[in-house]
Every structure is written in C-alpha cells, then in structure tokens.
A and B are shown apart, each in its own frame.
Chain A
Amino acid sequence: MKDARQFGTLIGLVLLSAGLWILTPHFLTVSNLVNVVEQTSINAIVAVGMTFVILSGGIDLSVGSIVALAGVVLGTSLQSGHPLAIALALALAAGTAAGLVNGALISGGGLPPFIVTLGTMSIARGAALLFTEGRPVSGFDAAFRLLATGRVGFVPAPVIAMAVVYAAAHLVLTRTTFGRYVYAIGGNEEATRLSGVAVRFHKTMIYGVSGLMSAIAAVLLTARLNSAQPIAGINYELDAIAATVIGGTSLMGGEGTLGGTLVGALIMGVLRNGLNLLGVSSFLQQIVIGGVIVIAVLLDTVLKRKNRT
C-alpha cells in the first residue's frame, strides 16, 4: 500500500514531464533535465531533514534561516583564510548546533515544534544578518566553487551530493534503530516512550539532522552563488514541506519515505522549470505551484481514506 502510494507520486512526475514534453520539446533534452535536477538538489537536501522531522510528528520552520546562518559562517571563515576543511566543518557544526537547539527546546522544554522553530527561524536569520552586518560575503577560491561547478562525466557535483545524502539518509531511516525510532515516535510517542526508547534524546537528534541538512544545502548554495548571503534560504521551509508532503509523508507523522520526498522535490523542480520554459509569468507560477501542492495532498487524503475503509 505504501509502495503503491509512492508509485502514484512517481506516475504524477512522469505525467507532468510528458505533458511538458508535448508543450515544449526543449524540456526533454539531456541538458535541461540535468539542469532541473541540479536546480532541485539544494531544496531536495533540505527536504531530507524536513522528512525526518515530519516523520517524527514535528515541523521545522527554521531550515531556511539555518541555511543562511551556516552559509555566512562558511563564507566568513573562508574569507578569513581558514582552510576549506575547517570552514566546511564550522558551517556543518553551526547548522547542526542550531538544529540541536531546536530539538532540545522541543523535547526538553516540551514546547510545540511550530512555535520553537518559528522563533529560531527569526533568531538564526537575525544572527546571520548581525554576523555579516547585513552584507553578502562574496568571492571564493575556484577550488571551493568546484562543489557547485564541478562535474563527474556530465553529472554536476550538487547532484552527486544529493544522491549521496539521499542514499545515506535512506540507510539511516530504514536500517538503523535511530531510523526506526523516527517512525515510532511519529506513530505513537507515548507507546515508544513506554517501550523504553529514549524519546527526548532521539527527538533532539532528529532536529540536529535537519540542521545538518540545512548546512549541507548552505555549502552548495554558497558555492553556486560564489557568495554567502544572510538573506539566503528565504521560504526554503515551504519548498521542503511541500516536497515532503507531496511525496506522501503524513503531517501527522509516522508514515512516509525519503524516495517519496525526492520525487516530491523533483515535481516541484520540474514544474518550475516547465513553467519557465513555457514563459509563464512568475506571478502565475506561484498560483500553479500552490494549486499542485493542494491537489497532491487532496489526492493523497482521498486515496488513503479509500484504502482504510
């Protein structure tokens, strides 16, 4: 049943692509498809963290701000002459730490995730602005920029990064006790606690994962733009939530897959790309994308209701 659901999203992606191919033949060229996946990769990586969080029954609104925060940490430490490895480590640590703070407040303080991450969304954004005095940090080594511009064969580096992240996260989710607890906490937190699982610890780690994913996205974004911007990542949380939900993860928690999220992110990417190719105005694009999100979730709800009765 779960497989059928994922299959459904995939069919949606194929139908959408076929439709765009008919409308604009340029859509189905190798270069455009590679371009779509590359464009999608950053959002798709943020959506991995969001999937962990939503599977556990939570929500993380702070991902976009953490992208900005990790980005400016990376940018400033590169500019101040730190070696690439150190700068990367600092950025990833900053993102993970921000996520862990979310997690600690939610699981330790017993606060609703929506409120906590709404607060840290503002705090992390403010910190990024304060840290850079509101100015972008630009101009990096070619070696660093290879993270965005490099290619293996015809596959761009960000796509490889995305593939690695998805493979690793998928293994964590399906083959580790941590992954099992993500589903269990989302499915029934009290039963999980009564089973002796350290629910607070694992919930904290889940938000840490989300922070880490935002930081990885920040690295790719900074390399691509050749600039770390304190205003980067605005509205990323909405794209990540949309990809997760279109991919079939239940907002109630406990049900969903990363494969679904990847397809969901690709649907969003393909839709944007296709609408651009068709010359649809950016105003109208927003309406179409919003409509697709609602219709996808509506279909999902209707199908699930049918399956249950």
Chain B
Amino acid sequence: MSSGAPAPVLEMRGIRKVFPGVVALDSVDLTLHAGDVHMLLGENGAGKSTLMKILAGAYRKDAGEIQLNGQPVEIVSPRDARDLGIRVIYQELNLVPHLSVAENIFLGELPTHGFPGFVDWRALHDRTAALLVDLGLTLDPRAPVGRLGLAQRQMVEIAKALASPGTSILVMDEPTSALTSREVTQLFALIERLTARGVSIVYITHRLDEVFRIGRRITVMRDGRHVTTRPIDQVTVPELVRLMANRDLSDHFPKVRAERGAELLRVEGLQVRGVLSDISFSLHAGEVLGISGLLGAGRTELARVIAGADRFDQGRLLVDGRDVRFRSPADAIARGIGLLPEDRKAQGLVPGLTVARNIALPHGRRLAPLGVLSRRCEADMAAPISDELRVKATPTQAVRLLSGGNQQKVVLGKWLAGAGRVFIFDEPTRGVDVGAKVEIYNLMNRLTARGAGILMISSELPELLGMSDRILVMHRGRIHAELSAAEATEERVLSAALGLAS
C-alpha cells in the first residue's frame, strides 16, 4: 500500500467550530492523499460529522484553512463543495424513490433535446448505462429507485456523486450501518475500483473490522480534537480503542454509594422484533445501573419498553417480583416507574405550560381525585421540588422560556413529585451546563439513598463510569457485556460497545 503519496489532495488545517456553549472542533487537521481510503474514527460527539459538514459546506468554519491540491479554497455552501469535486453521502440517502435510477443520477442536469425543457431520454439512458458500466455496477437505468434494496440505492447515490466528472473526494458517513454482509462486500469492491481511478475517500465508521478491511490511513478524533493520524499498518485494534477512549479523568463525580437493597425491577429474555433481543438484567434499590452503547444499539428502545411507552414481543418484565405487562405509560407510572426521556423538548415537556403545571402533570389523579383542581394545589406540589432542584424560575413561568438545564430539572421534578422508585434517565445531562449537571448527579445520590433504583443511559463515558454501580453495555440490540464499577474502564466499555470481545 502506497501511503506515502507525494502531494495531498486535501488539507484541512486548524479547523475550529463553535456552537453556542460548545467547542465542537478545536484546531483539527485532516490530510487526504489521492486514492486514499481514510478512516475517520471517534466516539459519538467526537466531531467527525461536524468536520465533514464543514468540508461539505453545510457548516461554516470559525477558523482554519482548507487547501485543495495545494490551493486555498473557501467552501461556504454545498454548491461550492460540489463545484470543487467534493461529494458527501450521508446515512440518510437523498434520492427520489419514484424516479428511475437514471433520473436520480442526472437529476438537475437532465440532458435535453434542442428544444429546451424536453428530456432526451435516449441520451439520459445511454449516459447512465455508460457510467454504470464504468463503475462496474449492474443496475437497470430505468428501474425506479424505490424498488431497489438499500445497498443498490447506496450505489445509485455513489454513481450520482461520480456522474459529474470533477468528483475527486467522496465522504461516506457510516455507509454500512444498514447493509448485509454481502452488500458490504459489494460496496467495498466498488470502493476499491474508485480508489484505483484516483478518487479519495473519507470513511466514517464505528466498525473496527471495516477499518482494517479497507482502510489505508486512520485519523482518530476525540472531544473535537485531532488525536492521531497513521497508516493502517501502524495501529492495532486495542490501540485504536485506547486512542478513541483515553481522556484525562479529571472530571470529578460526586458519587455516593447507597446500600444495595431489594430487587425492584427484573427483565428476562426481553425481545422487540428487529430492535432488542434477549435482554436480561435486574435493578436493585439503591443502585445506579448504567447503560452504554453506540447510537442505535437499542438503549432508548429498552428504556421506552420498560416505561410502558412501547410494547415488547417476548420475555418478562417484573416489578417487585411480579409480572407486569404495561399497556401505556400510565400503567408503568402506577407501578412507580418514571422516564426522563432522551429528547426532553419532544417528549418531556409541554412548552406552553408553566413550571408548576408541568411538574404536576403526571399527578392529576392524586392532586384532584374528582378532577377539580384547587387554586394552589399545583403550585404547592411544585414549589418544594422546584426549590430542591434549584430551578431558576418562578412556578408560573412557561417552561418554554427556561434554559436547557432548568428545563431538564423540571422534567426530573415531574417524577420527584410522585412515589416513584424506579427512574429511567435517558441522557440526563445532555445539553445541560456544568452547574446543573452536578445538581443532577447530587439528585441521583439522594434518590438512591432513599431506596430508589436508577437506570441511567448515557453516551458520556466519564459520567457513566463516575456515577454507575454497574454498567450494561449494549451492542446491536443485545447486552454485550456487564461490568461492575470496579472493573469498568473507558476502554472496556468502548470495546464492548463496538462489539469486540471484552
């Protein structure tokens, strides 16, 4: 493998991008050579997608420079990126299902007869056929894209990217996430042919086996920073995992271990077709059970099933030793299970209602057995909770006007007001400032001290390691590993999340 090609095709240097409150990219470099297959690696939120969106013109960088073939370029729109020969294939494909393969490939530049506006169908199909042959693809130019399989659609997307002659850089964002192993082989064969023609490829993936199958160089990113770039033969799997995970554990977590009590919740052989299979675990009083996994591993789906928001196909769910089958979240709440949903805006809050009314929302039946609310009952219920959580707002303020941290506290407050004993926290500190994070951790300590059990789903490894008593690691809908607090390290959790043997 010739990794020491002379002049780089693309050089991104010192790229910086700041979103309100977060530095997404901090002085990141990326160098790409002709015919390279460059694997871009990192945990969720490491900044890979942001970097590629800057290359694609979807985001504008705040600092840094981009050079193409040694020439500095400014990419401020997707149009610019296309004109420079840069194409990105996102996970969610951008094809029109009712149109044919040929129409999709040449959409926007359909060949016309001399008479403007009339499509020259023969030219269209001839050009498409020629392109497909050239790429070694066996697709019918006239087939509607909607009837093709996912892998074939991906091929159409790639053909579309290469239909314009100038395309020299192709970015693929987790292209195999929905493909079968045979389809993956087809895709890799195509990638080989493309690189032979001098196209350079940036390939984002979480699958380490793919890294070693087709990668020629790797770049690892972590927390918005560039960690390392190396030829593939100078890195091993364990090393890669360490590079992705390693960070200074200076963050301090105020974890207080509570006494482990009776079993509150037990899950046996739980299955949801196509999403979860054979999930078994138990949660005890006083325990924080962390759940780790990559996006799409089934963590949120598991949370929703336990909270009664979705149904399960097979298996058992036991609360306090008794079998339950929830038909709605109301059933789960009646058994003392509260869910802090992943997306609080969409699922946790009614933005137009006040702080007090949001907190009181799950407790209508208790507050007003006959349905008539007394004038102050909601405020009376909410006030002590609001104080305990230090929500920086008055009870009569609409939650829409609150900051992210305060909104999250209100969602937490909904469940504190009840008699809940099992709390499911799905990404409890996402988008929350540091001060509020610590308050949420302290609250978790108080809950476990009171004898509650907490199921904490989190993509932030330090938080997961810092606050959990045990950690379950999910991979493709299964529990891949269970680690005690003592044995859990970032590397072990990440290895398991990537599906490697632990």
**A contact residues vs B (CB 8 Å cutoff):** 175-178, 180-181, 183-184, 187-188, 190-198, 254-255
Contact = CB atoms under 8 A, between A and B. Distances in A.
Contacts of A176: 368, 371-373
Given A180-B361, A196-B333, A188 B328 contact: no
Contacts of B375: 175
Interface in B346-366: 346-353, 357, 360-362, 364-365
29 contacts: A175-B375, A176-B371, A177-B364, A177-B371, A180-B361, A183-B350, A183-B352, A183-B357, A184-B350, A184-B353, A184-B361, A187-B353, A188-B346, A188-B350, A190-B346, A190-B347, A191-B347, A191-B348, A193-B328, A194-B339, A194-B341, A195-B362, A196-B328, A196-B330, A196-B333, A196-B362, A197-B361, A198-B330, A255-B352
Contacts of B85: none
A190 B365 CA distance: 19
A79 B453 CA distance: 67
B334 interface: yes
Given A191-B348, A197-B361, 9 more contacts: A177-B372, A180-B360, A180-B373, A181-B364, A183-B350, A183-B352, A187-B350, A194-B309, A196-B328
Contacts of A183: 350, 352-353, 357
A173 to B, nearest CB: 11
B472 interface: no
A175 B357 CA distance: 12
B300 to A, nearest CB: 13
A195 B368 CA distance: 16
A176 B347 CA distance: 23
A233 to B, nearest CB: 31
Interface in B168-211: none
B87 to A, nearest CB: 36
Contacts, number: 82
Contacts of A188: 346-347, 349-351
Contacts of B364: 177, 180-181, 197
A181 B328 CA distance: 16
Interface string B412-437: 00100000000000000000000000
Interface residues of B, number: 31
Contacts of B414: 195
Given A176-B368, A177-B367, A177-B368, A196 B334 contact: yes
Contacts of A191: 341, 346-350
Contact of A192 (B307, B350, B365): B350
B144 interface: no
Interface of B: 307, 309, 328-330, 332-334, 339, 341, 346-353, 357, 360-362, 364-365, 367-368, 371-373, 375, 414
Closest 10 CB pairs of A and B: A187-B350, A177-B364, A196-B333, A196-B330, A195-B362, A254-B352, A188-B350, A187-B352, A195-B361, A184-B350
A116 to B, nearest CB: 22
**SS class, residues of chain A in contact with chain B:** helix
Contacts of B373: 175-177, 180
Nearest to B415: A195
A183 B332 CA distance: 23
Contact of B329 (A177, A181, A193): A193
A183 B358 CA distance: 11
A198 B348 contact: no
A178 B353 CA distance: 14
Contacts of B332: 196
Contacts of A180: 353, 357, 360-361, 364, 373
B256 to A, nearest CB: 29
Given A176-B373, A177-B367, A195 B352 contact: no
A196 B361 CA distance: 8
Nearest to A252: B352
A180 B358 CA distance: 10
A162 B329 CA distance: 38
A255 B400 CA distance: 12
Contacts of B349: 188, 191
Contacts of A198: 328, 330
Contacts of B330: 196-198
Nearest to B334: A196
A200 to B, nearest CB: 9
A183 B361 CA distance: 11
Nearest to A175: B373
Contacts of A196: 328-330, 332-334, 362
A66 B292 CA distance: 55
